Amino acid sequence: MKGFLSMTGALLLAAGGVVAQDLAEGAELYARHCATCHGAEATGNGPMAPVLVLQPPDLTVLSARNEGVFPVTRVVMRIDGRDPLVSHGSPMPVYGNFFEGEALALKSETGQPVLTSPAVIDLVTYLQSLQDG
């Protein structure tokens, strides 16, 4: 895997220390907040997909669509609302402040840190674990 996260224990830089990310928590967050649109298998076929202006993408091929590198920064910013989708009518997720929290630095695909909340980091960890190949 060319991306920086791995299923065996992705690392997070936080206040000078290293903390393991929670793949199981990310899976639970996905099931609770994302599967309705993106589908249980993250392939873009959730029950709400037909009513969206833009169809949800297949989240299992994010790396494949980015030359084999998981686009950490783009995914983080899409989830936490810094890169909003007009089709949602508001920043994603539509759950508002749910994914807010203490800002932690996650190493991006370029090696630079991107700040986001622990919940977003867990969700990103889960999404990367779904990548084909």
Q: Rounded to two decimals, what is the model's pTM?
A: 0.77
Strand partners, 20: 11
What's the pLDDT at 94?
Answer: 56
The residue with greater pLDDT, 18 or 51, is: 51
Look at residue 6 and tell me if it is in a domain: no
| Alpha carbon 21 to its chain's center | 13
Domain that holds residue 66: 17-129
Distance CA 5, CA 61 (A): 15
pLDDT band with cut points at 50, 70 and 90 for residue 55: confident
**Tokens 């690392």, residue?**
11
- Give the number of domains in the chain: 1
Query: What b/e sequence results for 36-47 when a residue is b if at least 16 CB atoms lie within 10 Å of its CB, and e otherwise?
Result: ebbbeebbbebe
Q: Classify residue 12: in a domain, yes or no.
A: no
Find the mean pLDDT for residues 94-111.
Answer: 78
Q: How confident is the model at residue 25 (pLDDT cuts 50, 70, 90)?
A: very high
CATH of the domain at 101: 1.10.760
- Residue 105 inside a domain? The answer is yes
